[in-house]
Chain A
């Protein structure tokens, strides 16, 4: 299927880039006329994925995060958020709600649960010592036959 637009961002795994990443992705998706709710779901999921890279993959020691986004002609936003951090030993366990490797830091363990609940598809590829890529998909433009008459941003 045809890709309408594509971008690739690389930024440091620093906490202040959490808001940068979610604003960048939401601005990228705006031409598809998403509803406010859809944009807010995307922002939240991006925030979770980028936070995971910063605090888990790189253990807050810094590194590089690559964020790739594409808008497909069928109205889907596709995201790949990748790090070259420590990797996830057990992806299934990591995705369990409330599971966290850092309870002492008051992590909620809800990062992947938020991504799964707010996005249409979440896929995780990870290799220990090599890094993790989180793939997220969300329909950002309503299907033509069901397009609701909603105000856009």
Chain B
């Protein structure tokens, strides 16, 4: 499940629940519906209510990154649970998709 807030060209999406292969398709579909507005260039994913993610989640995040990269945009993440952070760190994706603080997201 997800909720979202939009500010100018930034879309903040808050994900809730667990992100595995089972929930990935719904989350992907809902995010892509929001991102079909091509004025959105930056996606911030707030994972504060998502205690669990497996490598299916990495695929979802990477897929959205590729989409926004084509628009010259970015993807960033915030509020990673310890489990999510472990999976994320292993992927090495932090080099292209940074984990940011609340303050940075507001800017």
| Interface, chain A (partner B; CB < 8 A) | 15-16, 18-19, 37, 40-41, 43-44, 47-48, 51, 54-55, 105-111, 113-114, 117-118
Say which size band chain B's interface belongs to.
Answer: 20 to 34
| B interface, over-half SS | helix
The segment from B6-14, B56-64, B68-76 found at the interface with A is B56-64
Assess the A40–B83 pair: CB atoms within 8 A: yes
With beta carbons under 8 angstroms apart, the residue of A37, A40, A105, A110 that contacts B58 is A110
Complex contact B56–A108 (CB within 8 A): yes
In the assembled complex, the Cα of A54 lies from the Cα of B25 at a distance in Å of 14
Q: Known interface pairs A108-B91, A114-B90. Does A19 touch B18 (Cβ–Cβ under 8 Å)?
A: yes
Contact of A40 among B24, B62, B82 (CB under 8 A): B82
B 30-73 binary contact with A (CB < 8 Å = 1; else 0): 00000000000000000000001011101110110000000000
| Given A40-B82, A44-B83, A110-B90, residue A18 in contact with residue B22 (CB < 8 A) | yes
A-B pairs, top 4 by smallest CB distance, nearest first, are A15-B22, A108-B58, A110-B55, A106-B63
Task: Mark B residues whose CB is within 8 Å of A.
Answer: 18, 20-22, 24, 28, 52, 54-56, 58-60, 62-63, 82-83, 86-87, 90-91
State whether A18 touches B21 (Cβ < 8 A): yes
Q: A37-B82, A40-B86, A108-B58 are in contact. List 18 more A-B contacts (CB 8 A).
A: A15-B21, A16-B22, A18-B54, A19-B18, A19-B20, A19-B22, A40-B52, A44-B54, A44-B83, A47-B52, A48-B55, A55-B21, A106-B59, A108-B56, A108-B91, A110-B55, A110-B91, A114-B90
